């Protein structure tokens, strides 16, 4: 639970940097590499909504741009009453870049659920599909 709590806390901290002037829905994510390094990310909105980037993808791209390639968990934190799972685009990116990692969903009220990517994306499209 300690490792999970550190991941949730990193996602909470990343959430504070969210840029969400349109939706006001602030999301933080934290990705843990197999070496223990944690990389945070937050959602960054754009007036052209299609250019908005979710917190999960920011964390993944940031970690990869810093040389990390192996991951074991990602946490997603929001202030919603209902825990917020990754969107479809993020599920695809998480699967391709991180594999069947643990996905920790949490909110600011202390609710926590843990899932595996294979359960959130049961029939993935990946390189094996090509």
The model's pLDDT over 62-76, given as tens digits with 9 standing for 90+, comes to: 999 999 999 999 999
Establish if 38 belongs to a structural domain. Answer: yes
Token pair for 59: 């964390």
CATH number reported for the structural domain that contains residue 121 in this entry: 3.40.140.10
Catalytic-residue membership of 56:
yes
In a domain, 16, yes or no: yes
**What band does 9 get if pLDDT is binned at 50, 70 and 90?**
very high
Q: With respect to residue 100, please indicate whether it lies within any of the assigned structural domains.
A: yes
d(CA 102, CA 32): 10
Q: What are phi and psi of 124, to 5 degrees?
A: -75, 150
Q: What is the pLDDT of residue 2?
A: 64
Q: Which two three-digit tokens encode residue 127?
A: 């390189």
pLDDT per residue as tens digits for the range 75-108: 999 999 999 999 999 999 999 999 999 999 999 9
- Selected catalytic residue, list 56, 96, 102, 113: 56
The boundaries of the domain holding residue 47 are 2-125
Please state the domain count of the chain.
Answer: 1
The overall average pLDDT reported for the chain is 97
In a domain, 130, yes or no: no
């Amino acid at each position: 639970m300690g490792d999970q709590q550190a991941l949730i806390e990193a996602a909470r901290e990343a959430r504070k940097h969210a840029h969400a002037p349109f939706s006001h829905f602030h999301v933080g994510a934290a990705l843990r590499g197999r070496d223990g390094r944690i990389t945070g990310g937050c959602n960054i909105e754009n007036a052209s909504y299609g250019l908005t980037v979710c917190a999960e993808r920011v964390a993944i791209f940031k970690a990869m741009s810093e040389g990390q390639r192996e991951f074991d968990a990602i946490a997603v934190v929001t202030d919603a009453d209902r825990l917020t799972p990754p969107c479809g685009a993020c599920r695809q990116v998480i699967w391709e870049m991180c594999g069947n990692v643990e996905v920790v969903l949490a909110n600011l009220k202390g609710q926590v659920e843990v899932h595996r990517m294979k359960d959130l994306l049961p029939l993935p499209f990946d390189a094996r599909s090509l």
